Amino acid sequence: MDAEISLRVDGEAHRLTVDTRTTLLDALRERLGNTSPKKGCDHGQCGACTVLLDGERALTCLALAVAYDGAEVVTADGLAADGELHPVQQAFLDRDAFQCGYCTPGQVCSAVGVLDEVRRGWPSHASPDLTGDPELSHDEVAERMSGNICRCAAYVNIVPAVQQAGGQAS
Amino acid sequence: MTELVEPRAMGRALVRRDGVQKVRGTATYAVDTPVDLPAYCHPVQATIARGRVTAMDTTDAEAVDGVLAVLTPFDAERLASTEDAEYAVLQSDEVAFRGQLIGVVIAETSEVAREAADRVRVSYAGQPHDTELSADRDDLYAPGQVNAGHETDTAEGDVAAAMAAAAVTVEQTYETAMYHNNPLEPHATTALWDAAGDGFLTLWDSTQGVHPDRAAVCQVFGLAEGQVQVICPYVGGGFGSKGTPHANVMLTAMAARALPGRAVRLALTRQQMFFLAGYRTPTIQQVQLAADRDGRLSAIAIDVVEQTSKIKEFAEQTGVPARMMYASPSRRTTHRLAALDVPVPSWMRAPGECPGMFGPEVAMDELAEALAIDPIELRIRNEPEVDPETGKPWSSRHLVECLREGAERFGWAGRGPRGHRDGDWLVGTGVAASVYPTLRQATSTATIRFAGGRYVVEIGAADLGTGSWTILPQIAADALGVDVADVDARIGDTRHPVASVAGGSSGTNTWGSAIVQAAREFRGTFGTDPHDGAEASGDVDQAAQDEDHAAYAFGAQFVEARVHADTGEVRVPRLLGVFAVGRVINPRTARSQFIGGMTMGLSMALHENSVFDTRIGQVANHDLAEYHVVSNADVDAVEAYWLDEHDPYVNAMGSKGIGEIGIVGTAAAVSNAVHHATGVRVRSLPITLDKLLPALP
Ligand code: FES
Ligand code: FES
C-alpha cells in the first residue's frame, strides 16, 4: 500500500509517495536520494542511520516514513547546509574521530542530540546525580554515545570530539 | 639497503583529505552512488545446511507488483567458470551450507524485493550436516599449505625430548572463538550492464581492491578486463572481509545482466553477512613450552585445529607467529583442518597472527608465573638474534624496546605476582607481545602526471579508513620533492593503474613503493621543470626489494583489568600499546589504526563470539544486538605510542604495515591481566562471566 507524505529534509520541502512499509531511512536514501544517513543493520542496533527528527536524535531504520508525515529531518549533511561544518563535525575532523566514515554521519547527529540533551539536563545511566546538571565527563559522553557502534573503533577519539564540541576541553 | 626518501610531508599529522565528506555523509559508498532508476535485489538463502534444492516455486513472488525478475539455480545463466565454488552462484541445486545463496529477486523497490523473496517457496532434499569443530575428530587433515603460502607444518629439534628434560613446562589448550568481521558498511554493490552488444559491466562495489575484484568477476563471467570497471572511492570498513569478493558480488552482476541497461543494487543485510561475507575460523591451539630455571626456552610447539568449508579451503596460518617470535632450539608447528558444512571462512584482521598470538602469549605468561620471573623479563631472555625460521638477520627488531618503553609509560615497575583489591574490584595488569610481517605485493603501478601546475598520482588503491587518500600524496610529495598541497591522488577505480589488495598491511609498502618509483622515473625523464602533461609510471617490481632480512613490525600491549568480585564483570580501564613499525607516515591516521586495532582486540577478548548452533548449522547470534562488538561505554583509555624506528631495508619510505598489528596480542594481554587480578586463567575466548564466576575467590 502506498501513501503520500510530506517531509522537510535539510531545509527542503518534499512531497513523496512511500510504501507503508518504507522506513524513514529508505525514504531518505532510496526515494529522496539523501544518502547521508547510512544503513548498518536496519534493526536499530548500530546507530548509522541516526538523524535529527523534529530536533531530537532518532534511528530512521526503526521509523516508518508514513508515520512521520510533516516531520522535519536534519541529516549530517544538513548540519553543514551552508557549507560551514557544524562544530561537532569540525571536532570529529580535528580529533580524527573516525576512520572509514560509515558510522560518522550517525555519530555526528547523535552527538548533536547528546549535547542538546545534556544542555536540557537529561540524566543518563552514567550520571552520578539524577537531579543535578550533567557534565560532559568521559563516562557521560561514552554512555550517551553507546548507541552508535564504530567498528573502526574510534571511540577514544569520539569522546573528546564530543567534549570539544560541547565546549568542554578534555 | 634502499635509498630512503627524505621525509618532509611524511611524518606530518595531516588531516584526512576525505574527512569533510565523511563527517557530512556525502562520501559515496557502493550503494550511495547516484544512478538513474535503480532496481533492488533481495537474495533467497538456503534454510538447510546440506542437501539439494528440489524445486523453487516463484509464482507468488513473480505475482507481486513491482517484481522485475526472479532468478533461481534452475534458470540462471551458466557462468564461464565455476572453479571457485564460493562464486558459483545459482549454478547447481546443491546446498553446501545454511544461508547459501539459492536465488535472487529483482524489483522496483527494496520493500517489494524483500517481500517477494519471502514468497519464493523452496523444496529441499535435506541430508545430515556436519558442522561441529573438535580436536578429537578423526577426519582432520593437513592442508597443502596455509594462508599466505606458508608451510603447513614445521619441525626443528626434538620437542618431546626437551619437554621431558625441562625444569619447567607449560602444556595447555587455548581456544579462540568464531569471529565475524562486521565492517559497519555491509557488503554492497551497484551493478550496471550496458545494454549494447556484449555489454560493459560497471560495478560500484565495496572492496579492498578494485583490481583483484575485477579479476575475480572477469574470471567468473568470462569477460576481458576491458569489459569491466570497478569503482570504489570509499569503503565502510573491511577488516579483510572485503579483501576478496564474496558470492554477493557475483549474484549482483548476474542480476544486473538480467536487466541490461538498468542499475541494480544489492546490499547484504547484517544478518546475511553472517553467512556470506567470510569470518575467522574458531581455533583450538595445543601449546607446549619448555624452559630452564632461568626461563630460557628449550621447546616451543603449537598444534592448531581449525575449520574450513567443504566447498572452498581456507587455512588460517595460526601457528605461523610461533615460528619466529622467540628463540628455542626445538620447535614444532602444525595445522589441521576439519572440512565442514559451514560458510566459507576467510581473512579477518591479522589472519594467523591475531589468533596465533593468543595461545602462545598466554602460555608465556603461565611460564613466567611458574618460574616467578617477570613476564617482560621472560620475553627479553628469549629474544632471538636472528629470525629462527629463516636464519636471516632482522631488518629491525625492537620488541625489547617496545616492552621497556611500554613498561615505563604504563607504570609496570614494582608489579608483584598478584594484583590487588580495590573495594569490590579485583585489579590486575598484564602484558603480551605483538608482531606482524612487513609484506609487499608483487603487482602495483602508479602514474604521476603534471597537469595545470599540479601533480596527479593515479593508482587503483583503496582507503578503508586507513588514510590512503591522505598519505599517498604525502609519499608522492616527498618522492617528487614538492609541497604536499600540490599533489592530488586518484584511487579506487580500475581506470587507474593496477593496484594490489589492501590486505596483509601491505598497501602502503606496495603502493608507496610504486609511487616512489614513478616519481623517480618522472624526475629522471622530465627534471624539476616538467611540461604540462608530462607523465611517468613506476612499478613496485622495479623498486629495490631486500631479500636478505626478515622484516616484521613488533609491539607490546599492556592492560589493566578490573574484575568485579561478586559479578565477574570485566572492565579494562587502560589499554596501552607501544609499536616499532618503521617510519610513521601520518601520525594522525596511524594512531587511529593502532587504537582501532587494539580496541578490536579488546572486543575479541571480552565480547565477540559467533555462537554456532550445530543442530541447524548456523550462527545463532547473527546480528549486532547478539554478536557484541565493543561500544563506546565499553572502552576507557586506549593509548598508542611508537618508537622512532629507522629501517633502511623495508622500502623507500622506511615504513612497515600498521593496520593489523594493533589487534595482535591484545586479547592475550587482557587474559593475562584478568589472571593477575583474579588468579583465574581463562584460556578460551571470550573472557565472559561464566568462565570467571565459579573460580573467583
Ligand atoms: S541502520 Fe539503523 S540502527 Fe543500524
Ligand atoms: S569510522 Fe568506520 S565504523 Fe566508525
The whole-angstrom distance between A153's CA and the closest CA on chain B is 5
Find chain B residues with C-beta within 8 A of A95's C-beta.
none
Q: So what's the ipTM on this one?
A: 0.98
CATH code at position A136: 1.10.150.120
Long-range contacts of A84-87 (CB under 8 A, 24+ apart): A85/B20, A85/B23, A85/B24, A86/A112, A86/A165, A87/A165
* Residue ranges making up the domain that contains A44: 2-78
A170 in a domain, yes or no? no
Contact assessment for residue B304 and residue B336, using Cβ atoms and an 8 Å cutoff: yes
Return the pLDDT at B107. 98
Same domain? For A109 and A51 the reply is no
- CB contacts of B35 in chain A (<8 Å) are none
Residue type at B406 in one-letter notation: G
In chain B, residues with a C-beta closer than 8 Å to the C-beta of A37 are 25
* Amino acid at position B674, single letter: V
The distance of A108 to chain B (nearest Cα, Å) reads 7
Contact B637 A156 (CB under 8 A): yes
Question: Do residues A52 and A13 both lie within one domain?
Answer: yes
Cβ neighbour number for residue A2 with a 10 Å cutoff: 9
Average pLDDT, chain B: 97
**Of all helices (H) and strands (E), which one includes residue B287?**
strand B283-291
Per-residue tens of pLDDT for chain A, all 170 residues: 999 999 999 999 999 999 999 999 999 999 999 999 999 999 999 999 999 999 999 999 999 999 999 999 999 999 998 889 999 999 999 999 999 999 999 999 999 999 999 999 999 999 998 898 999 999 999 999 999 999 999 999 999 999 999 996 44
pLDDT tens, residue by residue, B164-190: 999 999 999 999 999 999 999 999 999
Give me the CATH code for the B147-179+280-439+548-695 domain, please: 3.30.365.10
Phi, psi of B111 (to 5 degrees): -65, -45
A41, A58, A78 — which closes off a domain? A78
Are A67 and A11 contained in the same domain? yes
Q: Report pLDDT digits (tens) over A71-90.
A: 999 999 999 988 899 999 99
Task: Return all residues near B486 (Cβ < 8 A) that are at least 6 apart.
Answer: B453, B454, B455, B477
Residue B402: what residue type?
Answer: C
Residue B13 confidence (pLDDT): 98
A74 and A93 both lie in a single domain: no
Task: State the cell numbers at B253.
Answer: 552482476
Q: Read off the pLDDT of each residue in B44-53 and give the average, rounded to a whole number.
A: 98
Q: What is the pLDDT at residue A81?
A: 80
Classify B19-28+441-539 by CATH class. alpha beta
Check A126 against B23: CB less than 8 A apart. no
**Closest in B186, B464, B638 to A156, CB measured:** B638
CA A120 to centroid of chain Cα atoms: 17
**Residues recorded for chain B:** 697
Question: Which ranges of B48-206 would DSSP assign to H, the alpha helix?
Answer: 59-63, 110-118, 159-165
Task: Judge whether A96 lies within some domain.
Answer: yes
Ligand 2, CB cutoff 6 Å, lining residues: A 98-104, 150-152, 154; B 184, 237, 465
What does the pLDDT read at residue A170?
A: 47
Query: Helix (H, G, I), strand (E, B), or coil: what is residue B123?
Result: strand
| Tally of CA atoms within 13 A in the half-sphere of A103 that contains its CB | 30
| Closest to A55 measured CA to CA, from A42, A67, A35, A71 | A71
Q: Is residue A26 part of a domain?
A: yes
Q: Do A111 and A61 fall into the same domain?
A: no
CA B315 from centroid of its chain's CA atoms:
14
Burial classification of residue B524, based on how many CB atoms lie within 10 Å of its CB (0-12 exposed, 13-18 middle, 19 or more buried)? exposed
- C-beta of residue B397 within 8 angstroms of C-beta of residue B554: yes
pLDDT of B1 > 80? The answer is no
Q: Quote the number of domains for chain A.
A: 2
Q: Which amino acid is at B622?
A: H
- Report CA(B36)–ligand 2 centroid distance (Å): 28
Best mutation target among A10, A29, A96, A98 (most B Cβ atoms within 10 Å) is: A96
Atom of ligand 2 nearest to the CA of A153: 4
- pTM for the complete prediction? 0.98
Q: What is the DSSP letter of A40?
A: S
**Across the interface, which of B24, B112, B624 has its CB nearest the CB of A80?**
B24
Of A94, A100, A157, the CB nearest to B464: A100
Q: Return phi, psi of residue B440, to 5°.
A: -130, 135
- CA separation for the pair B21, A19 (Å, rounded): 30
Contact A38 B20 (CB under 8 A): no
Residue B104 phi/psi, 5-degree rounding, is: -150, 140
For position B197, what pLDDT does the model report?
59
CB contact under 8 A, B631 and A149: yes
Q: Are residues A91 and A121 in the same domain?
A: yes
CA distance B182 to B165: 46
Among partner residues B22, B630, B636, which is closest to A104 by beta-carbon distance?
Answer: B22
CB atoms within 10 A of CB B456: 17
How does DSSP classify residue A43? S
> Which positions of B are catalytic?
660
Q: Among B337, B362, B351, which residue's Cα sits nearest to residue B179?
A: B351
User: Mean of the pLDDT values across residues B28-32?
Assistant: 98
Show residues of chain A in contact with B464, CB under 8 Å. Answer: 99-100
Q: Are B613 and B620 in contact (CB under 8 A)?
A: yes
Q: How many Cβ atoms sit within 10 Å of the Cβ of residue B372?
A: 8
HSE-CB at B173 with a 13 A cutoff on CA atoms is 8
Q: Which of B23, B40, B464 sits opposite A92 (nearest CB)?
A: B23
Taking the CA of A97 as reference, the closest ligand is 2
Ligand 1 within 6 A of A61 CB?
yes
**DSSP type of residue A31:** I
Lowest mean pLDDT among A80-89, B466-475, B683-692: A80-89
| Closest residue, chain B, to A28 (C-alpha) | B32
Q: What is the pLDDT of residue B199?
A: 84
Residue B411 confidence (pLDDT) above 60:
yes
- Cβ contacts below 8 Å, chain A against chain B, sum to 191
Shortest Cα distance, chain B CAs vs residue A127, angstroms: 13
Say if residues B590 and B342 touch (Cβ distance below 8 Å): no
Nearest CA in chain A to B30: A35
Residue B289 has pLDDT above 80, yes or no: yes
A27: CATH? 3.10.20.30
Do the beta carbons of residue B510 and residue B444 sit within 8 Å? yes
Kindly state the cell numbers that stand for B112.
Answer: 517489494
Please work out whether the CB of residue A40 comes within 6 Å of at least one atom of ligand 1.
yes
Within 8 A of A148 by CB-CB distance, chain B residues are: 632
For residues A130 and A96, state if they share a domain: yes
Give the domain-ending residue among A78, A95, A122: A78
Name the strands in the sheet holding B39-45, side by side, starting at the edge strand that comes first in the sequence.
B67-71, B101-107, B39-45, B264-267, B188-193, B201-205, B228-231
SS3 B179: strand
Establish whether residue A147 lines the binding site of ligand 1, counting it when its CB lies within 6 angstroms of any ligand atom: no
The candidate with the shortest Cα–Cα distance to A59, out of B624, B29, B18, B630, is B624
Model pLDDT, residue B198: 72
- Structural domain contains residue A44: yes
Domain termination residue (choose one: A53, A78, A103): A78
- Same domain for A145 and A94: yes
B27 confidence band (pLDDT: 50, 70, 90): very high
- Per-position DSSP letters for B81-134, written without gaps between them: --SSTTT-TTS-SEE-STT-EEEEEEESSHHHHHHHHHT-EEEEEE--------
**Nearest-5° Cα angle at A32, A29 to A36:** 45
CA distance B381 to B400: 10
Judging contacts by C-beta atoms under 8 Å, the chain B residues touching residue A145 are 632-633
Instruction: Output the furthest CA–CA distance in chain B (Å, rounded).
Output: 77
- C-alpha separations of B561 from B212, B577, B636, B680 in Å: 42, 15, 11, 13
* Dihedral class, residue B167 (left if φ above 0, else alpha if ψ from -120 to 50, else beta): alpha
- Mean pLDDT over residues B38-64, rounded? 98
Domain with CATH 3.30.365.10 in chain B: 19-28+441-539, 33-127+182-276, 147-179+280-439+548-695
- Amino acid at position B372, single letter: A
C-alpha cell at B294: 632461568
pLDDT attached to residue B195: 83
| The pLDDT of residue B619 | 98
Interface residue of A100, A103, A124, A157 to substitute, partner B, most B CBs within 10 Å: A100
Strands (DSSP E) along B374-533, which ranges?
394-396, 420-422, 425-437, 445-451, 454-458, 487-490
Note whether residue A37 is domain-resident.
Answer: yes
B70-121 residue pLDDT tens: 999 999 999 999 999 999 999 999 999 999 999 999 999 999 999 999 999 9
Residue nearest to atom 3 of ligand 1 (CA): A44
Work out the minimum CA distance from B190 to partner chain A, whole angstroms: 13
Ligand 2 mean position, distance from CA B681 (Å): 33
Q: What is the pLDDT of residue B582?
A: 98
SS3 state at A30: helix
Same domain for A135 and A159, yes or no, is yes
Query: Does residue A151 belong to any structural domain of this protein?
Result: yes
Q: Is the peptide bond before B686 cis (omega within 30 degrees of 0)?
A: yes
Sequence letter at residue A146 = S
**A38, A50, A95, A104: which to mutate for ligand 2, most atoms within 8 A of CB?**
A104
Residues A64 and A98 in one domain: no
CATH of domain B33-127+182-276: 3.30.365.10
The DSSP bridge pattern shows strands B330-340 and B297-309 to be parallel
